[in-house]
Chain A
């Protein structure tokens, strides 16, 4: 237990870094309880923490992911039927390397291989929403209970969303060119340990290059909220007692495009300012699961009716999750 506690405090929450940055800020004659000192501390501490966790996590996770490349996932999914296929798709979505830029080829590749569109949508929902790295970051910023609850509701949303799309029989609303493409079955030659390490290294570089700006902006906004925006304003707009807070957070989040790593510091600052946990999570899920760029891309492969159904289901799901978390926060914090 003691080791676990130490692991949580020092490795996950990085309390040593918190103190170190505090010393640094103090060295410049600033108090971390003051506004300026507090913002600088939040900014430096969160940026360094996220980048350390990001590199270590992505490396480890990419190594695991190299066993679940999309070609393999597709093959595994082909063996399952009904809701089991949706559940498996949602779970594999959490470990399959994914970037919103590849969602369309993936959608087409899965569909061409004969996977039901509902199963593919389960995958498409869970993949950006629940990432292995995000679980550990959530545990670092909040706690393990919240991290696990987040994963569970994310997967449930993906399963329900995909199953609903199956039930609605929307196959005819997929653009015709999506069907009947060649399916490359031959997995590339078996990867060696060195290949996997190389793959993991490349992923670290790739993802860091892709997300660093979002992280800096996210931490910047977080620091601003943390120290400069009066609590009264935030609680008037997004306070726990405001019924519309979750709706507002979701609809502001949806059009935005950012990585989950960039949105976490914002969620962290909001919760510290008294915003409901469900409201902060709804914002985060809105940003990561749906965004204008990904919707525009998806519109090239599916017709408006299916696209609208997909957006509708995910939006309703996120809002429901938001209210659920707000109601049961006392169990998690």
Chain B
């Protein structure tokens, strides 16, 4: 599973990264976490507000930092 965090290095993006990392760990999922910081790549997902969470190329959340339970739900959807 590939989990991408879209965002140009803002505080909320780092927060989301940590939450996603923890969520994957707690679920025992083998996931590759990728930080997407280049503006061109971010906008190619159609996202206007960062941070955004992309799992297996599907945009799950954008414009806010979701709670860890939400992130777990999104990861489970893609398992």
Residues of A within 8 A of B (CB): 69-71, 74, 101-102, 104-106, 108-110, 112, 177-178, 181-184, 188, 199, 202, 206, 300-301
Contacts and interface: CB of A to CB of B under 8 A. Distances in A.
Contacts of A301: 39
Contact of A69 (B43, B44, B50, B63): B63
A105 B10 CA distance: 14
A71 B63 CA distance: 11
B58 to A, nearest CB: 11
Query: Contact size class for B?
Result: 10 to 19
Provide the main secondary structure of the chain A interface: helix
Contacts of A177: 40, 43
Interface of B: 8, 10, 12, 39-40, 42-50, 59, 61-64
Contacts of A183: 46
A199 B63 CA distance: 10
Contacts of B44: 181-182
A69 B64 CA distance: 12
Contact of B47 (A74, A184, A199, A206): A184
A102 B50 contact: yes
Given A112-B46, A182-B46, A105 B39 contact: yes
Contacts of B8: 101
B55 to A, nearest CB: 15
Contact of B48 (A101, A102, A206): A102
B46 A70 contact: no
A110 B61 CA distance: 19
A102 B49 contact: yes
Contacts of B43: 104-105, 108-109, 112, 177-178, 181
Given A105-B50, A202-B64, A182 B45 contact: yes
Given A177-B40, A300-B39, A105 B49 contact: yes
A211 to B, nearest CB: 14
Given A74-B48, A105-B48, A184-B59, 4 more contacts: A105-B39, A105-B42, A188-B61, A202-B64
